[in-house]
Each structure stands twice: as C-alpha cells, then as structure tokens.
C-alpha cells in the first residue's frame, strides 16, 4: 500500500468512525455541506461522499457555497468549491451576500471592530436559510480539531460560557428553523487535513482571508501553534479538558423569533437585523 493510500485509509476511517460513534448521519437524512473551497470544507465534502458510498443506508448530500464579497480572495474559493462538487458529483447551491443582502463585505467591514463580525453573522444566516429551504436535516461544517480548540478558548477569553453548548461533533436542534450542525472533522487535526490535500493533489483555496489577521481567532491560533511547538501535547491537553467539560450537560438556549425578520434568535432582534441596522446608520452618515 502506498503512503497516500495508507494515509487516506487512516483519515477516512477516523471520520467514518466519528460519524458512526456519534450517529451524526441517519438513514434518509438530507445533509447540506457548507463548502467554502478551503481545505477543511473540501475534505468534509469528499469524506461525506466516501461515507455515502460505503454506508449500508441512503442519505442525500448537497453543497452550499456563500460568496461574501471579498475581492481577489473569495472567487478562488468558489472556483475550488465548484470543481470539488463536480468531482464528488454533489449538487452545489451558490449564494452570495450581494444577491441575498445587496452588499459586499468589502464595502461594509470598516463599520465594525472586526470584518469577521458581519461576515460570520450574514454567512451563518444565508447558510441556514438555504439549508432550511432545501429541507436539510443537518449542516455539515469543516470545523477541525484545531478550530474546535480555538473556539473553546475564544469562549473562555470572552467569558461566554453559553457558547460551550456549541462544542462537540453534533449540535441539537433548538429551533424548528435552525438547522443543526454536525462536524465530521471534529477530531481531525488541521495538519492531517493539509497533508490529505497535498498527498491527493486536491484543488483547494489556500490563501488566508485578508481580514483574518485582525480576528481574535487568528491571535489564539497563533498562540496555540507557538505553544504547541514549544510544549508538544498542549492542543491535546486542551481538547481533553474540553471533552471532560462536555460531560457536563450543556446549557439549553430557548430561542425566540426575530421581531423584524422572523429568524430564530436568543433575543428580540436577531444578529443579522442588528448588523443591518448598524450598516444603515453608517450609510446615513
Ligand atoms: Fe469572513 Fe473573517 Fe473568515 Fe475572512 S476570516 S472569511 S472576514 S469570518
């Protein structure tokens, strides 16, 4: 067996086992894959196709890409998304901030402390609405083990313990209109995702988002990578602490419907409408 075959067997077996152990996908379900064209979402797509081909039950797959309007960046991700969806023979639904919200991230990011704030809110909203309209039972995201540790530490640093309920490979459905997430790469280290893409010569979008260095996630990622290099095992220790905490029953959030748009929200007005009103205020000035 070649090194490539051996590695592919290892990585796909680990993902298949996670899906089976946590029962992430059930017979007859419709799964929407959030496909940015980056290495993690592309591996998620290929891995779910691999699982679909080997499973002894049927389920349906679709991919959804969202173009945020980041010039000289996102169009390359969309290209990779189109090519990989074609290779896997999975239909791709393409959405954009422009079509859905009549704006591009490049034009409005400066109204916020970080571009990631409006970007994440609009993208999650468009992804959820598209998946819901397609009738998806779950949205599969490309969150890998490193992302999960970063999110965990971000919530710690913000004192946002409510977000602890968003950890783990599967999130519960907490509102009829909010499609629950699954994370098939939950226990796959980022280094393995990179290695898979290189060994298999996969067309992925490698460039870093031009806004990413401004984010808290980027700072925590840098800190973790530096600490791991000096103190090997740090990431695993953090992940194990996280798994221990997962044993604590997660805080349940009761969701309302936004008074403006009707989408699920923990408050009276959803984040998307809050962001839209900040943009409107800035446009008036
Ligand atoms: Fe959006 Fe921030 Fe990700 Fe860039 S790094 S795509 S701005 S969330």
pTM reported for the whole predicted model? 0.88
Supply the residue whose CA is at minimum distance from atom 5 of ligand 1: 212
Determine the pLDDT at residue 58.
97
Distance separating alpha carbons of residues 213 and 22, to the nearest angstrom: 34
Gap from CA of 105 to ligand 1 centroid (Å): 9
| CA 52 to centroid of ligand 1, rounded, Å | 30
Does the beta carbon of 121 lie inside 6 Å of ligand 1? no
Q: Which pLDDT score is estimated for 160?
A: 73
264 lines ligand 1 (CB under 6 A): no
Distance 145 CA to ligand 1 centre (A): 19
Whether residue 186 has its Cβ less than 6 Å from ligand 1: no
Please list the pLDDT of the chain residue by residue as tens digits (285 residues). Answer: 899 999 999 999 999 999 999 999 999 999 999 999 999 999 999 999 999 999 999 999 999 999 999 999 999 999 999 999 999 999 999 999 999 999 999 999 999 988 999 999 999 999 999 999 999 999 999 999 999 889 888 887 777 776 777 778 888 777 888 999 999 999 999 999 999 999 999 999 988 899 887 677 888 888 888 998 898 888 888 888 877 776 644 444 568 899 999 988 888 999 999 999 999 999 887
d(CA 262, CA 252): 21
* Other CB atoms within 10 A of residue 248 CB: 8
What spacing in Å lies between the alpha carbon of 58 and ligand 1's midpoint?
Answer: 34
The protein residue whose alpha carbon is closest to atom 8 in ligand 1 is: 116
Which residue do the tokens 């490698």 mark?
206
In Å, how far are 89, 97, 117, 138 from 211, measured between CA atoms?
32, 16, 11, 29
Q: Is the CB of 120 under 6 A from ligand 1?
A: yes
CB count within 10 Å of CB 29 equals 16
In ligand 1, the atom with minimum distance to the C-alpha of 212 is: 5
Ligand 1 atom closest to Cα of residue 217: 5
If you measure from the C-alpha of residue 68 to the centroid of ligand 1, how many angstroms do you get, rounded to a whole number?
Answer: 9
């Amino acid at each position: 067996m070649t090194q490539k075959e051996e590695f592919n067997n290892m990585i796909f077996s680990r993902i298949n086992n996670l899906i089976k152990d946590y029962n992430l996908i059930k017979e007859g379900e419709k799964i929407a894959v959030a496909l940015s064209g980056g290495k993690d979402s592309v591996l998620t797509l290929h891995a779910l196709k691999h699982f679909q081909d080997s499973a002894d039950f049927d389920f349906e797959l679709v991919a959804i890409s969202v173009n945020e309007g980041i010039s000289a960046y996102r169009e390359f991700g969309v290209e990779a998304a189109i090519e990989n969806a074609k290779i896997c023979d999975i239909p791709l639904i393409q959405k954009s901030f422009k079509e859905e919200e009549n704006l591009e991230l490049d034009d409005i990011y400066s109204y916020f402390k970080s571009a990631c704030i409006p970007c994440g809110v609009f993208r999650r909203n468009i992804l959820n609405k598209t998946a819901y309209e397609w009738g998806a039972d779950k949205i599969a995201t490309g969150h890998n083990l490193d992302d999960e540790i970063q999110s965990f530490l971000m919530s710690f640093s913000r004192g946002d313990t409510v977000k602890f309920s968003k950890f783990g490979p599967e999130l519960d459905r907490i509102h009829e209109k909010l499609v629950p997430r699954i994370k098939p790469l939950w226990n796959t280290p980022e280094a393995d995702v990179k290695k898979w893409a290189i060994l298999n010569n996969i067309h992925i979008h490698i460039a870093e988002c031009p806004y990413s260095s401004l984010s808290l996630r980027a700072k925590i990622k840098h800190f973790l990578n530096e600490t791991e290099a000096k103190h090997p095992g740090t990431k695993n220790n953090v992940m194990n602490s996280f798994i221990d905490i997962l044993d604590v029953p997660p805080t349940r959030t009761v969701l309302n419907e936004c008074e403006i748009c009707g989408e699920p929200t923990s408050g009276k007005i959803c984040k998307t409408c809050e962001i839209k009103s900040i943009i409107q205020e800035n446009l008036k000035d």
